[in-house]
Amino acid sequence: MKTLARFVASIAAILAFAGQAAAERPLALREVQIPAGIAVNPIDRFVDSYSKDHSVTPGPVVEDRTFVRRVALDLTGLLPSPERLEKFLADSNANKRELYIKELLAADRAYADHWLTFWNDALRNAYRGTGFIDGGRKQITGWIYESLFRNKPYDQFVRELVDPVPGAEGFLHGIQWRGVVNASQRREMQAAQTVAQVFLGTNLKCASCHDSFINDWKLADAYGMAGIFADGPVEVHHCDKPTGDIAKPAFMFPALGKITEGAARADRLKELATIITSPQNGRFPRTIVNRLWANLFGRGLVEPIDEMERPAWNEDLLDWLAADFVASGYDLKHTLARICTSNAWQRQAIGEAREQEAGSDEFVFRGPLVRRMTAEQFVDAVATLTGDWQTPSDGMRNRDGRAQGGQLLDVLKVLSKSEEGPTPEVAAEWIWNEPEAARLAEPATVYFYSELNLKEKPDRVTAVVACDNEFRLVVNEQVRNMASGKSWNQPEVIDLTGLCKVGSNSVRITARNWGDGNGAKTGSPNPAGLICQIDAWKGNRRIGQLVSSQKSEWLTSGAVPANWEATAGRPKEWQQAVRVAGPSDGPWQIAGTFGRLVAGHAGESIQQVRSVLADASPLTRALGQPGREQVVTRRDDRATMLQVLELTNGTTLDQILTSGAQRLLDKPGFEGKPASLMNDLYQRGLSRSPTTEEQQIASALLGTDPNTAEAASLLWVLVMLPEFQLIR
């Protein structure tokens, strides 16, 4: 009866709240006075004042080990290394926590890898799946990743999504559903729902069919937003029945600005992007700082986080935090640092949100909640534990052998533009089978052959290739793992590590110079050429290089032997490829782009592939990774029976632990030293040494000379611990 009474009370509260107009809350940010107090961080002054008013005794700030683990997972998604933890513990600097937070946020790649998960969910950016087969969907991984890597201001981030720049178009594109689709699922309405939910914290899905009964939005509001994104007139449908009315493009908060009726779609999108990110729109910064707070604390200032019409448990703190975010230049890292440096966030985590206090339905803030790792954090934590990361050595494939959706290459291209890595050494030049191909070459298919000779086993082998107009690359007759490209001015980065061996490695490239007939061997002569540079590395030492240049030993022919890609051996009686003669400023040179790509992949930048860049597996699906056909702004972190079954009997985790166990046993220093292995695992996994009881259990599992199965058993015991899986 008590549960039923609470349910009825909750429904009544929702209906009562639904009667309040969204416009009653001021759109503009209020000027808020920071409460008096001794705390350095303004957040703590707001929380201290709140705690006093609510008779809350603040919990203690966590000790250093817990802090280091929590902040590393929250900001980069990775467990801290034992070496970095010990350095932190030995540091006597009073500001060491603030400095460590700054250090983590400055790790651009780790930050981008971690927060890509958050934005993939929110922007429903998938790598494959519904809509990709028929070309009705396009991922935006490269654009998101670069935005995070460069810490793009959030207002610019949103403007570039709403008024799409190259690389960001897939966000508004939506999913072209097959079969008969309800009017509320049309692409225009998908865009309206997504923009409203993600950037304004408003649920328009109910209002997409009829006037909403869970909030104050009307059918006309949803269709007004949908009309902004439409290529033509949009007829209003009520519960999927046409009404005969044509939607007038309008922003959901008309007081902030109007959309010009009759304007072209591109102009409407530009107007919308400007209105949403307008300084007068306080709803915009409130929504994102509330999301960041919820991500770090386990509960937002406003709940649910997609119903920003609801009151915050501390309205002044919400508006001050939003204003501080705007004043920082819409810097997401600034707000993350502001939150993480507060004592409020560094308090001891509590087990659950106490929604009812002494019979009241009012939430009372007491500190951060204990949270579970995300699916991606869990997989990365296991890789950190064992050192067995997925790498591009798999031929751009996932652990289960399936080809990836191209997301890794998109990220590699972003990383190649950074200042990381050695100075570029670009020796490659454009080659073809005729010297004047830069000016005039007949439409044709030309075949190239060369060999990369290696005296040692490489750690990594990277190829950077471009062709005017199209190429296909096969190494060591591995046709299944071929690579290709169709853009002369955007070189492809290809990892060949898993395909190359000690000795001679055959390299075959089929290159096409398109004619005027969509690639047919017809049409007028036009520029053509191929450029390729392959570098093999052992650590930071180059152990082999193959480049296309005048001095290379590339062989070429206009005629090809049968089954040439899969037939071993050097082709006979082919002519030597020649350097293409042409103007030094011709587009075929592309020296800048090519050089940056070579530089970006000469170093260590592609050796560890985070889980976020792999396609979903049965394990990550069971642990809550969504399909991304719908916007997900918060994952359900409650344990399910599916998770129990997958963690205990799933083949994916078993394969990861078995592979990781073998890698650990092969690691120098652990041979015949199970105690050393055990201590290392506890330090990496739990940021502490094993207890006496844990040592006894681990010793019983490992024995004196552990095999792979025994080491995998200890790994399984460790990763099943709540202490490993929870962020406390």
Structural tokens at position 190: 């998908």
Q: How many CB atoms are located within 10 Å of the residue 494 CB?
A: 26
Q: Strands of 455-528 (E only): list them.
A: 460-468, 470-475, 483-485, 492-495, 503-513
Structural tokens at position 24: 């009653």
How far apart (Å, rounded) are the C-alpha atoms in residues 240 and 222?
14
Lowest mean pLDDT among 516-525, 552-561, 683-692: 516-525
Under the banding of pLDDT at 50, 70 and 90, the label for residue 516 is: low
How far apart (Å, rounded) are the C-alpha atoms in residues 89 and 69?
12
Under the banding of pLDDT at 50, 70 and 90, the label for residue 358 is: very low
Q: How many CB atoms are located within 10 Å of the residue 465 CB?
A: 25
Q: Which of 385, 369, 560, 543 is nearest to 474 (CA)?
A: 560
245 pLDDT more than 60:
yes
Strand 444-454 to 541-547 pairing: unpaired
Q: Which residues pair with 76 in a beta bridge?
A: none
What pLDDT does 6 receive? 43
How far apart (Å, rounded) are the C-alpha atoms in residues 687 and 73?
12
What pLDDT does 41 receive? 97
15 pLDDT more than 60:
no
Q: How many CB atoms are located within 10 Å of the residue 679 CB?
A: 16
Burial 180-190 (b: 16+ CB within 10 A, else e): eeebbebbbbb
What pLDDT does 417 receive? 65
How far apart (Å, rounded) are the C-alpha atoms in residues 582 and 437?
8
Q: Which of 225, 236, 205 is nearest to 269 (CA)?
A: 225
Lowest mean pLDDT among 257-261, 636-640, 665-669: 665-669
How far apart (Å, rounded) are the C-alpha atoms in residues 526 and 71?
57
How far apart (Å, rounded) are the C-alpha atoms in residues 320 and 49?
14
pLDDT tens for 641-664 read 999 999 988 999 999 999 999 989
317 pLDDT more than 90:
yes
How far apart (Å, rounded) are the C-alpha atoms in residues 302 and 631?
19
Under the banding of pLDDT at 50, 70 and 90, the label for residue 529 is: confident
Structural tokens at position 343: 């004592």
Report the SS3 class of residue 259: coil
How far apart (Å, rounded) are the C-alpha atoms in residues 65 and 87?
11
What pLDDT does 484 receive? 87
pLDDT tens for 151-203 read 999 999 999 999 999 999 999 987 777 666 788 888 899 999 999 999 999 99
Q: What are phi and psi of 130, to 5 degrees?
A: -55, 125
Under the banding of pLDDT at 50, 70 and 90, the label for residue 593 is: low
pLDDT tens for 597-628 read 555 544 434 567 899 998 889 999 999 999 99
How far apart (Å, rounded) are the C-alpha atoms in residues 510 and 191?
41
User: What is the pLDDT averaged over residues 491-505?
Assistant: 86
535 pLDDT more than 90:
no
**Secondary structure, 3-state, 57-113:** CCCCECCHHHHHHHHHHHHHCCCCCHHHHHHHHHCCCCCHHHHHHHHHHHCHHHHHH
Q: Which of 303, 225, 249 is nearest to 10 (CA)?
A: 303
Q: Could you give the domains of the chain?
A: 25-60+285-366 (no CATH), 112-276 (no CATH), 375-389+621-727 (no CATH), 410-600 (2.60.120.260)
584 pLDDT more than 50:
no
User: What is the pLDDT averaged over residues 134-158?
Assistant: 91
Q: Which residues pair with 609 in a beta bridge?
A: 390
568 pLDDT more than 90:
no
Average pLDDT, the chain: 85
User: What is the pLDDT averaged over residues 673-702?
Assistant: 92
Query: What global pTM score does this model have?
Result: 0.78
pLDDT tens for 179-192 read 667 888 888 999 99
426 pLDDT more than 80:
no
Interacting residues of 678 by C-beta distance below 8 A, sequence separation 6+: 690, 695, 698, 699, 702, 714
- Highest mean pLDDT, choosing among 317-321, 516-520, 709-713: 317-321
How far apart (Å, rounded) are the C-alpha atoms in residues 115 and 647?
25
Q: Which of 387, 541, 394 is nearest to 458 (CA)?
A: 541
DSSP H stretches of helix in 202-282: 219-229, 265-276
User: What is the pLDDT averaged over residues 464-470?
Assistant: 86
- Highest mean pLDDT, choosing among 112-116, 474-478, 498-502: 112-116
How far apart (Å, rounded) are the C-alpha atoms in residues 580 and 196?
53
Judged on CB neighbours under 10 Å (0-12, 13-18, 19+), 278 is middle
Under the banding of pLDDT at 50, 70 and 90, the label for residue 718 is: very high
What pLDDT does 521 receive? 52
How far apart (Å, rounded) are the C-alpha atoms in residues 577 and 547?
12
How far apart (Å, rounded) are the C-alpha atoms in residues 148 and 292?
15
Which has the higher per-residue pLDDT, 464 or 133?
464
